[in-house]
Homo-oligomer: A and B are copies of this chain.
Amino acid sequence: MISLAGSIDDLQHVVAELFVVRASGHASDSQRNYPLWELSNKELKRLLEEGVGGVILYGGTATELQHRCKTILNWAAKPLLLCADIEEGLGQRFDGGTWLVPPIALGQIFSIEPEKAIKLAEKYGSCIGDQARRCGLNWVLAPVCDVNSDPLNPVINVRAWGEDPETVSTLIQAFQRGLELQGVLSCAKHFPGHGDTRVDSHLQLPRLDHDLNRLKEIEFIPFQAAISARVSSVMTGHLLLKKLDSQYPATLSETLITQLLRQELDFDGLVVTDALVMEAISKTYGSAEAAVLAFAAGADLILMPEKPEEAIKALCSALLEGRIPKQRLEESIHRRRNALAKVKESFLVLHDKDFLTSGIELESSEDRAFAYELVSNSLQTVNAGSVKAIRQGVNLLRVDDVFSSSILTNNSPAICLPEQYGYKTILCHPRGVSPWQEDQQFPLALDRLGEVPILLQLFIRGNPFRGSSHLKEPWVAAIEQLQSKNLLAGLVVYGSPYLWAELLKVLEASIPAGYSPGQMPESQTQTLSSLFSPLDGPSDLQKSRLQEFT
């Protein structure tokens, strides 16, 4: 029993347990990728000492992550929820982990070979759970249970397991089995469903017209599947369902959380908010107000408020003043401790055996083979093997951000392979010199690129924070322009299946083209290897480079 009669410090210590704050996976403050959002070590240590019960980690390598989890546990001196947003494999966020194709690939496979897709989805969960646990995490913020019913959805898109509720339900159940078998907690997100929006809740609040019947027909189904498979937690979305609660977005809505998720869908696990720093919430509600509203609405855990200490104090006041019944605090504390008890084993692994020093790599050859298999099962090509080596060509690569990703480096297959065939790399990204001119019919400024054959590689997918900026780029017209001049040597799309489908419509029949749902090196290697014709007598350099990629 928690007493409200004790000191305010004692209450704050208990309430703090329900907060999950954000930290970098790197050891030093100077290494943080997002210093505005990631606590400094000093702040983090203080909050942990004050009782904060969870940390979400971003950035750093797998080795650093493991170190970091140890440091954080030492600072807290008690069990913690340690989580990360590794929907597509540990390697999506932490170099050295395995990076898998996005879930939509499994939805695509499911439509052809459902049994195979189910097996792959279970292995997908197992691969993530295993690596997460070995690095010290005990809570994976997946599966995404949103049904991507709008191809223009800017933020879910390829992160969804499918475009219909049955596909998503079947695959997320398999994923969840694999994940939880590894001794880590799961999280179904983003309740009641972020799949049918054209607005990214990182940037503003999406408003949905759906009524309860529609939700029951589509959006709820995967969440029900997750709940019946005993998912550990559900994350609320920052979504305004105006027909159900005209005032509050789901994260702050008693109707959505308590009446629908808890009562109607009968979920008794942990409810966690999506990050409160996201602009859908933070534009309207301060940290304190948002935390109190979310908790009053029925959430157990408060994720990433901008000012955690203010939010903790505000929640304590609301409890002391009786605005929120004490019983709610007891329930949430109980749910959190229950969840932690389930994953107690994972801490032993971390303390017991230091896999990195022992020289056992995090990523096993089975993991690598699995990543390979997923790419090869979701690869699409047209006119495979027909791109030949030429004397002078351009490899035009379009990426969102030349800095912040592990997608491209000087060793990336998307750069090295075309260079072996005579295609010189030119990067096109929002912070580079523009390749565009003011001509709707001929938008590519070819004088800036060279009037030579161009291999076009587009890294485009829905991504949080990016909005739909790529939709403003006239790639259809650019492809038509290159074709009209006989300068399109080939086309590759990494990511969006919708863009791929759209571009295929205008592509001439003879053009070699390829698509992978993934953007990571494995997708690059397999897609390009399929498109290029074998080289005669590669040099030693080429051979050893090729070796690297296989």
Complex Cα distance, B411 from A29, in Å, reads 13
User: Are B96 and A31 neighbours in the complex by a CB distance under 8 Å?
Assistant: yes
For residue A378, CB closer than 8 A to chain B, the reply is no
Complex Cα distance, B31 from A426, in Å, reads 24
A 343-376 binary contact with B (CB < 8 Å = 1; else 0): 0000000000000111101110000000000000
Number of this chain's copies in the complex? 2
Taking CB atoms, residues of chain B closer than 8 Å to A64 are 61, 63-64
For residue A27, CB closer than 8 A to chain B, the reply is yes
User: Are B96 and A26 neighbours in the complex by a CB distance under 8 Å?
Assistant: yes
Complex Cα distance, B410 from A163, in Å, reads 34
**Chain A count of residues within 8 A CB distance of the other chain:** 57
Taking CB atoms, residues of chain B closer than 8 Å to A316 are none
Taking CB atoms, residues of chain B closer than 8 Å to A503 are none
Q: What is the minimal beta-carbon distance from A34 to any residue of chain B, in angstroms?
A: 8
Binds B, one of A105-113, A142-150, A383-391, A432-440: A432-440
A 385-429 binary contact with B (CB < 8 Å = 1; else 0): 000000000000000011110001111000100000000011110
A 148-165 binary contact with B (CB < 8 Å = 1; else 0): 000000000000000000
Task: Tell me whether A411 and B33 are in contact in the complex, defined as CB-CB below 8 angstroms, given that A63-B27, A448-B448 are known contacts.
Answer: yes
For residue A41, CB closer than 8 A to chain B, the reply is yes
Task: Tell me whether A434 and B411 are in contact in the complex, defined as CB-CB below 8 angstroms, given that A63-B27, A64-B63 are known contacts.
Answer: no
For residue A70, CB closer than 8 A to chain B, the reply is yes
A98 to B, closest residue via Cβ: B30
Q: What is the minimal beta-carbon distance from A142 to any residue of chain B, in angstroms?
A: 22
A 14-43 binary contact with B (CB < 8 Å = 1; else 0): 000000000000111111111110000100
For residue A510, CB closer than 8 A to chain B, the reply is no
Task: Tell me whether A356 and B27 are in contact in the complex, defined as CB-CB below 8 angstroms, given that A60-B61, A432-B427, A435-B433 are known contacts.
Answer: yes
User: Are A361 and B432 neighbours in the complex by a CB distance under 8 Å?
Assistant: no
Taking CB atoms, residues of chain B closer than 8 Å to A263 are none
The 8 Å CB contact of A361, one of B41, B60, B95, B96, is B41
User: Are A62 and B433 neighbours in the complex by a CB distance under 8 Å?
Assistant: no
Interface residues of A in 109-157 (CB under 8 A from B): none
Taking CB atoms, residues of chain B closer than 8 Å to A74 are 357-359
Binds B, one of A250-258, A485-493, A541-549: A541-549
Taking CB atoms, residues of chain B closer than 8 Å to A410 are 33, 401, 403-404
For residue A449, CB closer than 8 A to chain B, the reply is yes
Taking CB atoms, residues of chain B closer than 8 Å to A435 are 433
User: Are B541 and A27 neighbours in the complex by a CB distance under 8 Å?
Assistant: no
Q: What is the minimal beta-carbon distance from A39 to any residue of chain B, in angstroms?
A: 12
Complex Cα distance, B396 from A432, in Å, reads 9
Q: What is the minimal beta-carbon distance from A131 to any residue of chain B, in angstroms?
A: 11
Taking CB atoms, residues of chain B closer than 8 Å to A210 are none
Taking CB atoms, residues of chain B closer than 8 Å to A362 are 27-28
For residue A431, CB closer than 8 A to chain B, the reply is yes
Taking CB atoms, residues of chain B closer than 8 Å to A29 are 361
Taking CB atoms, residues of chain B closer than 8 Å to A75 are 359
Taking CB atoms, residues of chain B closer than 8 Å to A449 are 433
Interface-central residue, A41, A356, A358, A401, by most chain B CB under 10 Å: A356
For residue A45, CB closer than 8 A to chain B, the reply is yes
A362 to B, closest residue via Cβ: B28
User: Are B36 and A544 neighbours in the complex by a CB distance under 8 Å?
Assistant: yes
Task: Tell me whether A363 and B30 are in contact in the complex, defined as CB-CB below 8 angstroms, given that A428-B433, A448-B433, A544-B36 are known contacts.
Answer: yes
A424 to B, closest residue via Cβ: B431
Taking CB atoms, residues of chain B closer than 8 Å to A71 are 356-359
Taking CB atoms, residues of chain B closer than 8 Å to A544 are 35-36
For residue A242, CB closer than 8 A to chain B, the reply is no
Complex Cα distance, B154 from A183, in Å, reads 55
For residue A207, CB closer than 8 A to chain B, the reply is no
For residue A230, CB closer than 8 A to chain B, the reply is no
Interface-central residue, A404, A427, A545, by most chain B CB under 10 Å: A427
A40 to B, closest residue via Cβ: B548
Complex Cα distance, B68 from A358, in Å, reads 10
A 46-86 binary contact with B (CB < 8 Å = 1; else 0): 00000000000000111110010011001100000000000
Taking CB atoms, residues of chain B closer than 8 Å to A428 are 433
Residues of A near any B CB (own CB < 8 A): 26-36, 41, 45, 60-64, 67, 70-71, 74-75, 95-96, 356-359, 361-363, 401-404, 408-411, 415, 425-428, 431-435, 445, 448-449, 541, 544-545, 548
* Between-chain CB contacts (< 8 Å), 18 pairs: A27-B63, A27-B362, A28-B361, A29-B361, A31-B61, A31-B96, A35-B544, A35-B545, A61-B63, A63-B63, A63-B67, A403-B408, A425-B431, A426-B432, A433-B433, A433-B434, A433-B449, A445-B448
Given known contacts A26-B95, A31-B95, A71-B357, what 10 new A-B pairs fall within 8 Å (CB)?
Answer: A27-B63, A28-B96, A28-B362, A35-B544, A36-B544, A67-B357, A71-B358, A402-B403, A403-B408, A433-B433
